[in-house]
Structure 1
Amino acid sequence: MASPGHASPVVSPSQSLQAKPSEGALSQAPLRPSAPPSLSRARAIALVATCTTAMVVNVSNSTAISISLPMIGRDINIPQDQLQWLLSAYALSSGCLLLFFGRLADLHGRKKAFVLGMFTQLVFALGCGFASSGITLDVLRGFQGLGAAAAIPSALGCLAHSFPPSRARTIAFSTFAAGAPVGGAFGIIVGGVVTQLSDDHWRGTFFMAAGLSALTLIGGLLSMSPDKVDWEADRRVDWIGAALVTAGLVLIVFVLGQGQIAPHQWRTPYIIATLVIGVFLVAVFLVWEHHLEKASSDPNRPKSIWTPPPLMKLSLWSRAKGRVAVVLAIAFLNWAGFLSWSLWAQLYYQNYLGLSAIHTMVRFIPMFITGILCNFFVALVVARLPLVIFVVSGTLITAGAAMLFALINPSATYWAFGFPSTVLIVFGADFVYSAGTIFLAKIANHGEHSVVGALFQTMTQIGTAFGLTITTIVFDRVVISESAKLGTTLNADASNAPAAADLKGYRAAQWTSAAFALLAAILAALFLRGVGIVGHERRREPRDSDETIAVLHRSQDTAREKPIVTETVA
């Protein structure tokens, strides 16, 4: 984007990214993105509401179930050490297939992918509600996660395509971002109420998810514009890359979830082997994608089943002088801290203080309210403040909230530690998601909005798994150490740990959560200072700094130096 004093015309980010022709391709007409559909105000509001509800459903599908785990285990006889699979099965399928489904959505239609994803969530949520065994429930939860993997990147792609760079896009992305923290709080709140009060007990949580999925499905059918697939684009699918990255991420996330509870923990042979294989597959995926991107840049290379367009261009990470990679790393770290805080705060209330599910739920209500207010704030000022302000302030506030909980005094009132911590914890999630996704939408080329959204969402999912793993290790080590100091030998499930040892474990886990958020703040302060403003005041003249767009590609200057010769179709 040219600065206000620059003589060149102002172009949108996606246009500038498309302007650079590859060598030897001057005789070909460049692919032009189709014009965004013209939406009425009512339809635009319905579209944003539908996409945001999809995010709420996705996140609440984890948090609502987590608060119901003890009752599920008792009702259908699931062993304590196997309950985690009800969360892991959903996380594995929803997190590890995001890139693949994001690519399919960009190629074959985002509305189709969204509708199919929400229908999948609806069907398998109902199935979960009628499940009568642990194995059945685990399998159905895995299929339920497939729906989220298809719906979320499609929703992001729909918003990016339907709202060109403008204040409307800023509001749309800020509202969508509210779905993550609001969905987390909503799941805990409503899950607690349903679990305590409904006739079906824990099954009511799944029926609630099915009802929300049905409403979102109807909303997608009515509010989303028909898909307009670019038939001139190369629509081949990188099946090899999809298999490599999906298998690799599944194995890594599996290890992160099971390493601490395996028979010999991280020294268990199958844990070590699985981790090595998972990392190897992801490394091979990166090499393969580099090969495909290099092959696709050669216009004289004949098409082959071995050289489809890459599932994910590695050059995407280096755009904006590598700041895309920084934003993705910050998302990873912030979600590691945010979701770890949520888990250990919940366990503290239920296991340490002995509160019921509904009393625990009440303590998370401030997070729900703050999440909504934060995104209203972002929508109002994101066009006036640079990206670094949002990310640094948000992650620092999240770190402060975790520190506050780490200092908690069980004898003190909730209003002294728990309440302010719950109010502050969502700032990082809201600010990073809102401003971060707006930034990524700017640098995305035509036809890759869903993939970019999927990549961001994948980093948050892996960050969550990583954060929960590290904080669990810290908690366990501290409890073991403190129990030994108090002369207590722990049993297999550490249920006889002294209360003082448990308290120190909870505090240590929260200090670790704070460390993740602090590291994210440091990265933002060091590497995002020159990005500038990512929001928009007006549709025609978006207010961006030179750094936000100009550093992405030198395409505008190249386009002036190398005029594109279009080919006339007879």
Structure 2
Amino acid sequence: MASTSTSPTTPTGPASKASDSSLGSKASKRSDAASTHAPSTAPSEVYTPKGVLRSVGIVAACTLSMVMNIAIGNPAITLTSVGEDFDETEASTQWVINAYAISAACFLLLSGRLADLYGRKRVWLIGFAIIAIFDIGCGFANDAMTLYILRGFQGLGGAAVVPASLGILAHSFPPSRARSLAFATFSAGAPMGGAIGFMLGAVVTQLSGPTWRTLYFVTAGASALGIILGFLCIDADTPSHEEDRRVDWIGALLVTSGLVLIVFVLSDSPSAPEGWKTDYIIGLFVVGGALVIAFGFWQWFLEKRLDDPNAPRSFWAAPPLMRITMWERAKGRFFLMQVIACMNWASFTCWLVWVQLYYQDYLELTPILTMVRILPITFVGIAANVIIALVIGRVDVQWIVTTGTLLTGVAVLLFAVIDPALPYWAYGFPSALIIVLGADFVFASGTLFVAKITPPQEQSVAGAVFQSMTQIGTAIGLSVSTIVYNAVLENGTKNAGLTLDANADNAPKDVQLRAYHDAMWVGFGFSMFCTALSIFLRGVGIVGHPPEKKRDDSIEAQQEATLHEKEPETKSPVEKKPSATFDPEERTPVDGPAPYVHDYAQSREHIA
């Protein structure tokens, strides 16, 4: 990784001015002007030069947080072992996943705001400590209910580390190729985390004595390693420049309660007595939706009040958790990118869950043999990181996102039409090769896009919004595909003259295959919907830092440079400033290399 002290190329000329004005729009100007969210001076960011080793350490620590969050968030392959230990049904053991997903998704926004206010490194370390502590607790759980509760608390750690990591990366690397590589590596941690968690779970479940418990002990050790790495490498927190550092606890209560109810409904509806027709499912969904809508109006009220310099200070009117005008940035493309990330991740989740069940339950393979068939994800995930780093500064983000959604769709389609009689190399292998490319293309480009159009003081909040959408996508993908799977399985078994048992073990093989196919068709539909939406990303442009031009050492270039050197100076002399650097806190000269100061007001480049 290149040193982060390299200054980015700042676009100049009429073309860049046009693109800056087109990106800005009235909404962006409203959201950044005269705000207590912004520092008293112009919103700018000071980047301290770092060595290569420290840069690698920061990226490794943040990427580990993403890998750990995804790996421990979906231990699907251990559910069979959990059910056997605690004598629980397959539907009940889903709460090992659901409990973590609910807390991890619903507390992201509050965690992002706390990280922006009180220090990203502090929130990051606390989050990793929570993950490690409750990992150990899960490993010693004596009954299923205790395990579900501990998993719910563990999700709070996942909600803390991910938005803090995005803020840490954005504040550690100025706009440059190093930043593009850092975000690409971090984004690759999401699909790779799913693969690593699956493979680790398969090995420890089949080979270790305590079976599923070993997974939590291993991830607790990895969390401890992350804490050490982050403590040593991540920069110390700097005080917030915001005048009003209060937290909008009313907004936090509204959005957290609303999202908890919505994600709970999405998670529980497939196993409810009458599915979505169940009374409590309908009631909770309506209440959850109403709370989220109320949160939106409350944030709009707070933002309007915040931007009014004549508004009196009120105990109840703290700065908003999230500016509503954030969704209007880049002419509404911020909102569009969130929807694409949500639905494409729903498709990726469909693939990850139903492929594992197809191999284990339909083909009746062991966990390790199942893991071997999904192993290509890990290696392709590493390659995807390299590809993204190479193309993100050269290719329009619309083409990257469109390609990603198409690749995800093709990977899911292969399993929607899979023929069990054919060898693994016909369907399973190519699908495993391209699924992670599709997921990573969308996730990495979306993460960079959000970081690029977000002011420094909102980086963690914007990252939390993006992560929340992917978590909601996970719940949507699982819920809709499970409903379709159960309906096909039940109807097919009934048509065969059988009564489906509690675990659906007696369903005919052809009915099971049709149910797997239809569940995958749901994921394919999600991807194609994203592909259609990506058309409206036209004009976003390049979100990565363009590669530096190579030096021209030709004889002609040297002669031209010599001629320019001999030309008389026509400009008025400018007095040289002292070469001291300035501490952004003390505003006094300090020793050391000059930090890179990035002015956000001039940084909304390239996005039309």
In 1, the alpha carbon distance for the partners of 2:16 and 2:146 equals 64
1:131 matched to 2:141? The reply is yes
Tell me what 2:370 maps to. Answer: 360
Paired residues of 2:45 and 2:597 also in contact (CA < 8 A): no
Query: Structure 2 vs 1, CA of residues 23 and 137 (structure 1 numbering), >3 Å: closer, same or farther?
Result: closer
User: Counterpart amino acid of 1:219?
Assistant: L
**2:408 matches 1:378:** no
Instruction: Give the conservation status (yes or no) of the 8 Å contact 1:530–1:547.
Output: no
In the alignment, which residue of structure 2 is the partner of 1:192?
202
Residue 18 (structure 1) shift: 7.8
- 8 Å contact from structure 2 (residues 86, 143) kept in 1: yes
2:34 and 2:193 map into 1 onto residues whose CA distance is: 47
Amino acid paired to 2:421? S
> 2:385 & 2:168 partners in 1: Cα distance?
20
* Residue of 255, 267, 276 corresponding to 2:277: 267
2:60 corresponds in structure 1 to 49
TM-score of the pair, normalised by structure 1? 0.91
Aligned to 1:111: 121
Tell me, which stretches of 5 or more residues in structure 2 are unaligned?
Answer: 1-9, 549-595
C-alpha deviation, 1:478, in angstroms: 1.5
Give identity over the alignment, percent: 47
Contact map agreement 1:390 1:435 (CA 8 A) in 2: yes
Query: Aligned match of 2:523 in 481, 488, 513?
Result: 513
- Given that 1:157 and 1:453 are in contact with CA atoms closer than 8 Å, whether structure 2 keeps it comes out as yes
Deviation for aligned residue 1:429: 1.3
Q: 1:196 to 1:22 in 2, by over 3 A?
A: closer
**Whole-Å separation in 2 of the counterparts to 1:47 and 1:382:** 21
Q: Confirm or deny that 1:529 pairs with 2:549.
A: no
- Please state how far the C-alpha of 1:35 moved relative to its aligned partner: 0.9
C-alpha contact 1:320 1:549 (8 A) present in aligned 2? no
Distance 2:148 2:16 in 1: 60
| Pairs within 5 Å for 1:287-366 | 287-366=297-376
C-alpha distance after superposition, 1:314-335 (max 9, x if no partner): 1111100100001000001100
Shift of 1:405: 0.9
Q: Is the 8 A contact 2:394 2:547 kept in 1?
A: no
Q: Is the contact between residue 16 and residue 606 of structure 2 (CA under 8 Å) also seen in structure 1?
A: no
Q: Closer, same or farther in 2 for the Cα pair 1:523/1:10, shift >3 Å? A: closer
> Counterparts of 1:551 and 1:352 in 2: how far apart (Å)?
48
> What do the CA deviations read for 1:431-470 (whole angstroms, capped 9, x no partner)?
1111111111011112110001100000000011001111
Q: Aligned residue for 2:583?
A: none
| Residue number in structure 1 paired with 2:574 | none
CA contact (8 A) 2:163 2:461 kept: yes
Which structure's CA Rg is the greater one? 2
Counterpart of 1:388 (choices 383, 389, 398) is 398
Structure 2 CA distance for partners of 1:68 and 1:20, relative to 1, 3 Å: closer
**Is residue 2:69 matched to residue 1:58?**
yes
Offset of residue 79 of structure 1: 3.3
Q: Tell me the residue number matched to 2:407.
A: 397
Letter in 2 for 1:261: S
Q: In the TM superposition, what whole-angstrom CA distance separates every residue of 1:90-135 from its partner, at most 9, and x where no partner exists?
A: 0011111000000000000000000000011011101111111111
Contact 1:533/1:548 (CA < 8 Å) preserved in 2? no
Instruction: Label 1:535 to 1:115 Cα distance change in 2 as closer, same or farther (>3 A).
Output: same
**Which residue is equivalent to 1:559?**
none
Q: Secondary structure at the match of 1:230?
A: coil
CA distance in 2, matches of 1:92, 1:478: 27
C-alpha distance in structure 1 between counterparts of 2:12 and 2:513, whole Å = 55
Q: Please state if 1:473 is matched with 2:489.
A: no
CA distance in 2: counterparts of 1:503 and 1:181, whole angstroms = 26
Question: Given the superposition, is the C-alpha separation of residues 478 and 305 from structure 1 closer, same or farther in structure 2, using an over 3 Å criterion?
Answer: same
C-alpha contact 2:411 2:435 (8 A) present in aligned 1:
yes
Look up the match of 2:3. Answer: none
Name the count of aligned residue pairs. 544
Report what 1:90 is aligned to.
100
RMSD value over aligned CA atoms? 2.6
Q: What is the deviation of 1:197?
A: 1.3
Q: CA deviation at 1:82?
A: 1.2
Residue pair 2:20, 2:606 contacting (<8 A) in 1 also: no
* CA offsets 1:396-439 (integer angstroms, 9 cap, x no match): 01101111111111111111111111111112210111111111
Partner of 1:440, secondary structure, is helix
